Homo-oligomer: A and B are copies of this chain.
């Protein structure tokens, strides 16, 4: 066995995504045979004590508070950006200039202009780059892609419909966090969770030709940390219809106002010879209808996606032993490490993230309903 070289990683962000990515950096080599070692060098946050605690708990060698210093460190190979959306553009363009490989949380940016600058920066610097749309690497989703590519739902797609529904701000008393502020988040449910299903639409079906959308802010004022009542200036929910370039119809919904739906990303694809359906709250299953089955015995197959020949999942446990949310990050980071180590391209890259951002921007500004 030739000695593997080692990739040193710095992660910026210590909250939800910081924890999820840290876990993935720790676990990737335990379960996947990668062409490089991973050194978890530095985690960076704004709060010194909190970041130090995070470094210890999450497994990083060092804690830092100045992200620019990280970029100046020649020993760092990869920068993983897990901060709120308003810092993505600045950090990623700087990281590109510093010749770091970059993994950036979604949505890529707050708007198309920012996203375009990021794409330009990584192209110019020729650095590896990826947006973390981790759901592409849920085994059931990856299997759906394989089934579609193999033509098993037919040569035409008629429908893609997805819904990402949560309920964590349906309560009017929930406070005004950064995800509800336009200047930090860019948009609300749209960019936070809608971006995921737009990415899946593009991944599974193709590019989108045109859309129409309706959005709504149901709770217009909320309390800030300082107990001030302030305006919510992002969408609470958005509904989108449209058309793909290949003629399929698109129907999307993103909402945080669906009581009982905790993290329910569902999609259904109907093709000329079959259909696929998925639910993230039941993420180890894929539902597959094959119109080529004998007529008497046709029905949606509930595939428990835990067999050794299913994507990614064979690296974990025996069949039927299910995996969870965090594993999608491990798969994403394992693939990213492979790509960086072998100088291969990987999807979704920033250019792909820009395409998703274009859809987000059009959705955000499309508001023409025909009155009744």
Task: Collect the chain B residues with CB atoms within 8 Å of residue A247's CB.
Answer: 216, 218
Closest to A53 in B: B1
A339 in the interface (beta carbon within 8 A): no
A362 in the interface (beta carbon within 8 A): yes
A116 in the interface (beta carbon within 8 A): no
Copies of this protein chain in the complex: 4
Task: Collect the chain B residues with CB atoms within 8 Å of residue A250's CB.
Answer: 214, 239
**Alpha-carbon distance A262/B313, docked complex (angstroms):** 14
Q: Main SS of chain A's interface residues?
A: mixed
Closest to A208 in B: B372
**Alpha-carbon distance A281/B369, docked complex (angstroms):** 32
A359 in the interface (beta carbon within 8 A): yes
Task: Collect the chain B residues with CB atoms within 8 Å of residue A309's CB.
Answer: 295-296
Closest to A146 in B: B296
A7 in the interface (beta carbon within 8 A): no
In the complex, the answer to whether B300 meets A260 with C-beta atoms within 8 Å is yes
**Alpha-carbon distance A242/B23, docked complex (angstroms):** 41
**Per-residue B-contact encoding for A272-294, CB less than 8 Å = 1, 0 else:** 11110000111111111111010
In the complex, the answer to whether B316 meets A158 with C-beta atoms within 8 Å is no
Partner of A163 from the list B161, B209, B299 (CB cut-off 8 Å) is B161
Partner of A298 from the list B159, B287, B303 (CB cut-off 8 Å) is B303
In the complex, the answer to whether B297 meets A147 with C-beta atoms within 8 Å is yes
A317 in the interface (beta carbon within 8 A): yes
**Alpha-carbon distance A248/B261, docked complex (angstroms):** 17
A26: min CB distance to chain B, Å: 7
A166 in the interface (beta carbon within 8 A): yes
In the complex, the answer to whether B301 meets A212 with C-beta atoms within 8 Å is no
A206: min CB distance to chain B, Å: 12
Surface stretch bound by B, among A97-105, A125-133, A223-231, A318-326: A318-326
Task: Collect the chain B residues with CB atoms within 8 Å of residue A236's CB.
Answer: 158
Closest to A30 in B: B57
What are the nearest 7 A-B pairs in CB distance? A262-B320, A263-B320, A260-B289, A210-B369, A299-B303, A299-B301, A324-B324
Q: List 14 A-B contacts (CB under 8 A).
A: A30-B59, A152-B297, A168-B318, A170-B291, A211-B370, A212-B369, A214-B241, A258-B275, A259-B272, A264-B320, A288-B299, A295-B309, A317-B325, A321-B325
